[in-house]
């Protein structure tokens, strides 16, 4: 899409308020101002805008996937995202004038058709972009086989390049649910999910740093998942696990689980595991 003014593009987007998928490839804009994307239905948003933009404001309460291919914002204060489903804490892709591609993905049990469309868009021209070795943020329920499969598909998109950072927000699953004959209760379920000895997602995936949030020290699935990242040569430099937001007793429980991770044989001897 090539439009002359920021305000014109904002008006066009406002007129398309029922779209569930928006792919913006902007060649050139003139004038200053705020590029506004307000849409209560959009679930997938992809933005490519290699020129400087003063400010971008996205208000999308249903957004599950944000794919930033290339934007030029001076700081995180110039990119404002209001999207409850799409949460991330790491935002180096929009700071210090280092413009890294970024995907933020709220993993959910999508229909196969929807997932195929989204992932085809995520992969379009992916390996033709030599700088796209950037960052990924995911919110995922590790006890759900369907969500784990989607996570695997996402990580496999990076096997050509080493990922700069991976941010994982573990979903808290306290609801009892029964699916495909298997029971899930209080986050303890499907122990066979991580019994497969094959590397996850495969032997080629590498990431420099991993940040984990909402890590539950008592969850067997989350511990098994983190253990694989420690032992499989997956993480090259650091694994950072957030504990500071927990109450004191829960913090001790999670720190004890992190201590057990530190005792595991490391796939990379230089790997550092820390709490923050």
In a domain, 202, yes or no: yes
Cis before 246? omega within 30: no
> What pTM, to 2 d.p., does this model score?
0.86
128: tokens are 């033709």
In a domain, 109, yes or no: yes
Domain extent at residue 147: 87-174+184-275
Coil, helix or strand for 112?
Answer: helix
**What pLDDT digit, counting tens, does each position of 122-159 carry?**
887 655 554 456 889 999 999 999 999 999 999 988 87
In a domain, 160, yes or no: yes
Average pLDDT over residues 165-180: 69
How far separated are the first and last CA of the chain, in Å rounded? 42
**What pLDDT digit, counting tens, does each position of 9-57 carry?**
889 899 998 999 999 888 777 767 788 999 999 999 998 887 777 788 9
What does the alpha-carbon distance between residue 203 and residue 197 come to, in Å, rounded to a whole number?
Answer: 11
The structural domain count of the chain equals 1
Q: At what angle do helices 112-123 and 145-156 cross, to 10 degrees?
A: 20
Decide: residue 56, CB within 10 A, 0-12 exposed, 13-18 middle, 19+ buried.
Answer: buried
**What pLDDT digit, counting tens, does each position of 230-245 carry?**
999 999 999 999 999 9
In a domain, 77, yes or no: no
In a domain, 111, yes or no: yes
């Amino acid at each position: 899409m090539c439009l002359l003014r920021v305000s014109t593009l904002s008006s066009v987007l406002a007129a398309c308020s029922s779209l569930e998928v928006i792919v913006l490839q902007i060649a050139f804009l003139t004038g200053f101002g705020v590029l506004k994307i307000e849409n209560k239905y959009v679930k997938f948003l992809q933005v490519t805008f290699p020129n400087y933009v003063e400010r971008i404001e996205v208000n999308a309460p249903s957004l599950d996937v944000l794919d930033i291919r290339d934007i030029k914002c001076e700081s995180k204060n110039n990119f404002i995202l209001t999207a409850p489903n799409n949460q991330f804490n790491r935002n180096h892709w929009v700071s210090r004038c280092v413009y890294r591609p970024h995907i933020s993905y709220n993993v959910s049990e999508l229909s196969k058709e929807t997932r195929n469309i989204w992932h085809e868009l995520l992969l379009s021209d992916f390996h033709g972009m030599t700088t796209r070795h950037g960052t990924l943020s995911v919110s995922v329920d590790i006890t759900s086989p369907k969500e784990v499969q989607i996570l695997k598909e996402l990580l496999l998109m990076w096997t050509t390049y080493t990922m700069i950072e991976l941010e994982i927000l573990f979903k808290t699953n306290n609801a009892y649910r029964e699916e495909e004959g298997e029971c899930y209760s209080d986050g303890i379920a499907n122990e066979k999910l991580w019994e497969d000895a094959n590397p996850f997602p495969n032997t080629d995936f590498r990431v420099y740093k991993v940040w984990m949030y909402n890590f539950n020290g008592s969850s067997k699935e989350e511990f098994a998942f983190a253990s694989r990242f420690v032992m499989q040569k997956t993480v090259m430099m650091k694994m950072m696990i957030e504990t500071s937001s927990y109450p004191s007793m829960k913090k001790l429980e999670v720190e004890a689980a992190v201590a057990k991770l530190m005792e595991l044989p490391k796939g990379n001897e230089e790997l550092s595991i820390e709490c923050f």
